[in-house]
Amino acid sequence: MVNNPILARFPGISHLVQSKRPTLQDAFRNPGKLPDFVSNCPSAMRILDLLGPLSWADFPERNLHRNWGRSAIPYAAFSAACLLKLNEHLVSMGDLRQYLVEHPAFIWLLGFPLVPSLRYACGFDPNASLPTERHLTRMLREAPNSSMQFLFQDSVRLLLGYFASQGIRAGECISLDTKHILAWVKENNPKAYVETRFDKTKQPKGDQDCKLGCKRRHNQRSAKEAQATPRSNPLPATGLSVGEFYWGYGSGTVVVKVPNFGEFVLAELTQTFDQADVSYFFPLMHKTEEILGFKPRFGTFDAAFDAWYIHDYFHRDDDTQAFAAVPYSEKGGYKVNERKFSPEGLPICKAGLPMPLEFTYRDRTVSIIEHERGKYVCPLKFPEPAEQPCPINHEKWSKKGCTVAMPTSPGARLRYTLDRESQVYKDIYKQRTAVERINSQAYAFGIERPHIRNGAAITNLNTLIYTLINLRLYQRLRQNR
C-alpha cells in the first residue's frame, strides 16, 4: 500500500522510490532488472561494472533508523560515492555532489535515501535526496575505517580468488614501501612565511593530527652539493645532515606482483609522519598473514628496512631458500661484506678468530622490538687468558680486547652474510618496482596532497584509493578473460 497520496496517483514511479532497491552486487548480477533511467545511463553502467563485484550485501552498515524518524545516510552508499569520486577524478565533495545531481541514476544505484518528487522523470528529487557538501565531508572523517577496510579486503579476496582459479598462488613474494602524505597546512607551503616551520612542539592550526617527519635524509653530500666549510661550525660541509621535512602522514603498503597479470595491494596502513619506515613492518605483516593464511617466503624492501628482525622474519629452518632482499645499509660502522662469521655463527674478530659468547641480556632500547642480545668477547681473553698476544696488536688488547654486542637471532647474521650479488637476489629485488607502480597510481588519485585536514579522513581516503586500484585491476582481468 502506498502511503504517499501524491505517489498513489502515479504507480508507475512509486515502485522506483518506495520499493527496496538492490545492492550494487545484486544489480551487477541482474542488470536486466534495473530501471530504464539507470540502465540507459552509460556512466552508471560503467561504474556498476567496476564496483559491482564487491560483497555489498555483507557491508557492515550502521543503524540507519534514528530516533527522530529520518533515515541516516548509509555508509555503503557514501563509500561507493567516494570510490566514484576517485575514479572520476572529482576534486572536492562539492564536485561529487554536483556530479550526482547531474546523474540521478547514481543516486538510485548507490543507495541514497530518496525524496519523492513528480517534477523529475526518475521519480525523486536528486538535490533533496543527497546530503550537503558539508555533511559528506563530515562523514569522511566520522565513518569507521573498519567499513572501508571491509571493501579493501573484499577487493583482495576477489583478486586472490581469480588468481587461484588460474592455478596461481599469489603472495609468495611481497614488496613493502611507504608513501609520504603532505598535510594541508601553511607550514608545508614554502612561499608562506612561518616563523617556526619545523618546530614539532608547535602543532599547525590547520591540522591537529599531522606530525612532523623527514621524507629522506642522508649525511653525505655530493661534490656539487657541498659548500664551503662554515666558519661558525667546524664540521665539514660534506658531512652535514641533509633532509626534507614535512608535516603530514605516511602510508605503508604491501604489494604483490603476479607476472603477466599485474600488481595489487595486499595490506595497507596509515600513520603519522613521525613514525619510522620500519614501524610499518610488523603491523602490515600481521595483516598479510591474516589475508593470505601463510607467511610469504620472499620480501623485497629498500635500504630503510635493512634491520635484523626483517631478515629474521623471512628466515626459516625448513626452507633455506626463503629470504628478504634488502640492500645493505652501513649501520654500526661496518661496510658490506666486512663482518664475517664462523660456521657456528660466531662473529670473527679482525684477527680472524671466532669470538665466544660471554653472556646474553634482554634489550628494549636498540630496536623497535624487545629482543635478546649477546656480548661476544676476545677469544684470547675469555674464558681463560691465553699466553700468546693478539696477532694484530689490537688497540684494545691492553684492556679487555675487542668486543661485539649484537642480537643472537639468525637475522643478525643474515644481514651481513646475504649474497646480494646472486641472481636469485637480483630477481627477487626487481619485484620491488611493483610497489613503486602502486605508489604512482595512488599519486594519480591525489594521495600525496589531499585537501583534508583530519587524520581519520585521510586514513579512510587512503583505504578507498587502494581499494579502487585493486578493483581496476580486477576489472581488467575480467575484461581480458
Closest CA to 109 of 92, 133, 87, 84: 84
Closest CA to 188 of 168, 164, 212: 212
Helices 133-142 + 75-87 axis angle, to 10: 100
pLDDT of residue 217: 62
Closest CA to 47 of 114, 100, 98: 100
- SS3 for 324? strand
Amino acid at position 352, single letter: G
Integer angstrom CA distances of residue 122 from 80, 117, 176: 20, 9, 47
Give the cell for residue 207. 591540522
Q: Say yes or no to pLDDT of 458 above 60.
A: yes
Q: What is the mean pLDDT of residues 202-208?
A: 95
What is d(CA 190, CA 194) in angstroms, rounded to the nearest whole number?
9
Give the cell for residue 10. 502515479
| Mean pLDDT across the chain | 89
pLDDT of residue 313: 96
What is d(CA 321, CA 417) in angstroms, rounded to the nearest whole number?
14
What is d(CA 180, CA 202) in angstroms, rounded to the nearest whole number?
20
Per-residue confidence band for 6, with pLDDT thresholds at 50, 70 and 90: very low
Q: Say yes or no to pLDDT of 1 above 50.
A: no
pLDDT of residue 226: 47
Query: In sequence order, which residues have a C-beta less than 8 Å from that of residue 287 and are 6 or more positions away?
Result: 254, 266, 267, 269
Name the least confident of 49-53, 108-112, 116-120, 424-428: 116-120
Give the cell for residue 246. 614535512
Alpha helices in 315-373 (DSSP H): none
**Which residue is associated with the grid cell 661485539?**
404
DSSP 8-state symbol, 112: P
- pLDDT tens digit string along 46-101? 999 999 999 999 999 998 886 565 678 999 999 999 999 999 999 999 999 999 99
pLDDT of residue 399: 83
Phi, psi of 116 (to 5 degrees): -60, 145
What is d(CA 190, CA 256) in angstroms, rounded to the nearest whole number?
37
What is d(CA 187, CA 206) in angstroms, rounded to the nearest whole number?
9
Integer angstrom CA distances of residue 339 from 110, 381, 394: 60, 21, 16
Name the least confident of 37-46, 124-133, 207-216: 207-216
| Domains in the chain: boundaries | 5-143, 149-301+432-480
Please, are residues 28 and 17 in contact by the beta-carbon 8 Å criterion? no
Task: Cis check for the bond before 5: say yes or no (omega within 30 of 0).
Answer: no
**Which residue is associated with the grid cell 567516494?**
82
Phi, psi of 302 (to 5 degrees): -90, 180
DSSP 8-state symbol, 70: P
The dihedral sign for the CA sequence 89, 95, 97, 103: negative
What is d(CA 247, CA 203) in angstroms, rounded to the nearest whole number?
9
Closest CA to 110 of 119, 99, 118: 99
Integer angstrom CA distances of residue 474 from 48, 125, 162, 253: 13, 34, 8, 18
**Which residue is associated with the grid cell 649484537?**
406
Dump the DSSP string for 259-300. TTTEEEEEEEEEEETTS-GGGGHHHHHHHHHHHHSS--SEEE
Reading across the β-sheet that carries 404-407, which strands appear in turn?
357-363, 371-376, 404-407
Q: What is the mean pLDDT of residues 475-479?
A: 95
Give the cell for residue 21. 532497491
Per-residue confidence band for 230, with pLDDT thresholds at 50, 70 and 90: low
Integer angstrom CA distances of residue 330 from 111, 218, 296, 336, 337: 55, 12, 26, 7, 10
Cross-strand pairs, 211: 248
pLDDT of residue 75: 96
Answer with the residue of higher pLDDT: 269 or 331: 269
pLDDT of residue 7: 46
Percent of the chain with pLDDT over 90: 75
